[in-house]
Amino acid sequence: MHSLFVIAGLVLQALALTSTTDASTTAIVTLDYATYQGSTDATNNITSFLGGLDTVLLPLAPEAYTSTLPYAHGGQTSPPLFRAAMTSSTALPPQYLGDAPILATIYNQVASGAGSANAMGTFTCLVASPAATLSTVENDVVVGDFFCGTFTFGPVIDGTFIVERPADTLKKGLHNGSRYHDTDILLSATNSYEGRDFVDTTPAVTNITQFAQDVFPLLTPAQMTAVAAEYAKYNATLATIEKQAVALMGEATFICPTYYLLNAFNGSSYRGEFAIPPGNHGNDLSYYFFS
């Protein structure tokens, strides 16, 4: 069995994962895709990521949205991808169809920034662009035009590999653990303040309704008001708007998706919380990998 370690650069993600109608007809093998697929040993059909036959550690880091992994193919991957899984800070930022308006906007900004906007095939033009150009454009798009805290580049719903939003797959209780379903087991941890690093506090967050609107631009005004009202209920522990914003970001992106995952492994899932202060996202890593 051989392992596959692929570190995908953000530049490649920008190119490969922010697709539009223009790009959707273009076949491209992405490093991210290879990462998700793991490597399969044909003699026993076991797919390995960072682990072995009995315990596969799914590397669920948000950087490459590797948390998409267990939901690939709508949870119907053959052969199964894992038997046992440990997750840390499962991240499910919003995920859209490849040609959805928000992604099309991002794609057009990338194309324009790279000088590819007027090319006959913008995607071909982007693929041919120097990495340094794409890197600069990516930074500009991420830090420049978008609300801080938005996860700008990520995988899309392509209809084949990712057939639907992972939250929908989990809601159906689908995941691709072992073919011996009753041996599937899951341990999931999250950190106390997952959202803190993703909330821009300069200037201070003063309006949680506006904050919800910025984080989820497609929510209706009524939904945003409902979100704000929900967090206001906890003003005893979330005494400031900023604390509410941190909770909102952390729960929307990491903590609620972890519960979706736990529910999909109903009866064989275990949950932990990393609560050593400051308990921010990523603080747990040095406790797992301390050398």
Ligand X SMILES: *[C@@H]1O[C@H](CO)[C@@H](O)[C@H](O)[C@H]1NC(C)=O
Would the CA dihedral through 142, 143, 145, 148 be positive or negative? positive
Q: Which of 15, 58, 110, 174 binds ligand X (CB under 6 A)?
A: 174
In the complex with ligand X, the residue whose CB is nearer, 3 or 45, is 45
Least Å from the CB of residue 225 to ligand X = 8
Q: Which of 3, 55, 76, 201 binds ligand X (CB under 6 A)?
A: 76
Q: Is 160 in the site for ligand X (CB under 6 A)?
A: no
Q: Which of 118, 266, 286, 291 binds ligand X (CB under 6 A)?
A: 266
Q: Which of 77, 95, 269, 280 binds ligand X (CB under 6 A)?
A: 77
Residues 180-199 that bind ligand X (CB under 6 A): 181
Residues 205-264 that bind ligand X (CB under 6 A): 207, 209-210, 213, 232-233, 235, 263
Q: Which of 51, 155, 166, 177 binds ligand X (CB under 6 A)?
A: 177
Interface with ligand X by CB under 6 A: which range of 12-20, 27-35, 172-180, 185-193? 172-180
Least Å from the CB of residue 13 to ligand X = 26
Least Å from the CB of residue 80 to ligand X = 5
In the complex with ligand X, the residue whose CB is nearer, 117 or 204, is 204
Least Å from the CB of residue 289 to ligand X = 29
Least Å from the CB of residue 8 to ligand X = 25
Q: Is 155 in the site for ligand X (CB under 6 A)?
A: no
Closest CA to 35 of 63, 76, 55, 14: 63
| DSSP line for the chain | ------PPPHHHHHHHHS--HHHHTS----HHHHHHH-EEETTTTEEESSS-SS-------GGGTGGGGGGGGGG--SS---SEEEEES-------BTT-HHHHHHHHHHHHHTT-TTSSSHHHHHHHS-HHHHHHHHHHIIIIIS-BTB--S---B-SSSS-S-HHHHHHTT-----SSGGG-EEEEEEETBTTGGGS--SSPP--HHHHHHHH-TTS-HHHHHHHHHHHHTTTTTS-SHHHHHHHHHHIIIIIHHHHHHHHHTTTSEEEEEE-STT-BTTTTHHHHS--
Provide the residue type at 184 as one letter. D
- Number of chain positions touching ligand X (CB under 6 A): 22
Residues 1-40 that bind ligand X (CB under 6 A): none
Angle between helices 131-140 and 101-113 (to 10 degrees): 130
In the complex with ligand X, the residue whose CB is nearer, 134 or 186, is 186
Binding site for ligand X (CB under 6 A): 44-45, 75-80, 174, 176-177, 181, 207, 209-210, 213, 232-233, 235, 263, 266-267
